Structure 1
């Protein structure tokens, strides 16, 4: 069976997007890179609909509201449709609830062949990266560094604090070929 979706899970500033971009450049076919940041960017920023989606308090936590869960469900149905139409998807995600998030994602992508990739990064390295990013709340990287991996089962894991994005992508590519 051919892999339909590669799910890359890692905390904020762990390097999931950079690894996914490197992998995208190594694949023989055109794979779409879709990430949770794309979903968050598409959400309303102001007005009544914004309050119940997702918020980022100054302590680095992430609060997910009921509207976000409904929108995320639709988003994942769209990703599943893309993959079922024969286009590979690199899904760059942050499984905030660890294994419970993985179970919810697996159910949404049921019937598709998934490759689960854990993108790890030492909290201090991720925090240093986060400090250089204007689009992150200080503390997210440290809060998420281990929490997003709790209870998650992976097919392959990489560590961006110890290997380059290209080397990490090659590990994932080898797992795809296996």
Structure 2
């Protein structure tokens, strides 16, 4: 089975974007890396805010924009572009189901990007561009009841090693 979409799900600072970039370098044809951070960048600032402990607070119209974005990403895959989705399933299995419904009919490799809360917190601090506490808060909740084809642990393996494990599962 040829994979059309790779979904990387993990908490903030888990290394999803780094793994996605490494995966792009390993694959024989170009793949697009589409991340939820990019959606946040282009969405109205009023739709995403952060609580005092790093929790993400989504505005009333967020789901409408997220649905439109997901449909657009799926359309790119249906048009023949390989797509790597870098996401944070804040609602665990419910988030996966929303994504799955948009990707219906496409061959998807679901990858859990695990990272220990301690390692994610250290990365968060080094980055300096995330609310304090977000990484630890998301480290486990994003994986709650989510079904994966493959799990990688970026706290024990490099981004390159994680990407190689993913590339080995793709028929490209």
Structure-1 residue corresponding to 2:14: 14
> Of 108, 118, 126, which aligns to 1:114?
108
Distance in 1 of aligned mates of 2:119 and 2:97: 28
Shift of 1:43: 1.3
Secondary structure in structure 2 of the residue aligned to 1:92: strand
Distance in 1 of aligned mates of 2:159 and 2:79: 29
Distance in 2 of aligned mates of 1:33 and 1:143: 25
- Give CA deviations for 1:102-127 in whole Å, capped at 9, x if unaligned: 01110011111110000000100000
Shift of 1:65: 2.2
- Unaligned 5+ runs, structure 2: none
Structure-2 residue corresponding to 1:29: 29
- Unaligned 5+ runs, structure 1: none
TM-score for the superposition, normalised by structure 2: 0.97
Segments of 4+ in structure 1 off by > 2 A? none
> Of 129, 132, 137, which aligns to 2:126?
132
Q: Would you say the 8 A contact 2:114–2:151 is kept in 1?
A: yes
Distance in 1 of aligned mates of 2:129 and 2:57: 16
> Of 86, 98, 119, which aligns to 1:104?
98
> Of 156, 164, 172, which aligns to 1:162?
156
Q: How many residues align?
A: 172
- Give CA deviations for 1:58-102 in whole Å, capped at 9, x if unaligned: 211011222110000000010011000000000000000001110
Secondary structure in structure 2 of the residue aligned to 1:150: coil
Secondary structure in structure 1 of the residue aligned to 2:84: strand
Distance in 2 of aligned mates of 1:55 and 1:111: 34
Q: Would you say the 8 A contact 2:9–2:89 is kept in 1?
A: yes
Range with bigger deviation, 90-99 or 65-74: 65-74
Secondary structure in structure 1 of the residue aligned to 2:163: helix
- Give CA deviations for 1:16-68 in whole Å, capped at 9, x if unaligned: 000110001000011000100000000122xxxx2xx2211121101122211
Range with bigger deviation, 54-63 or 35-44: 54-63
TM-score for the superposition, normalised by structure 1: 0.94
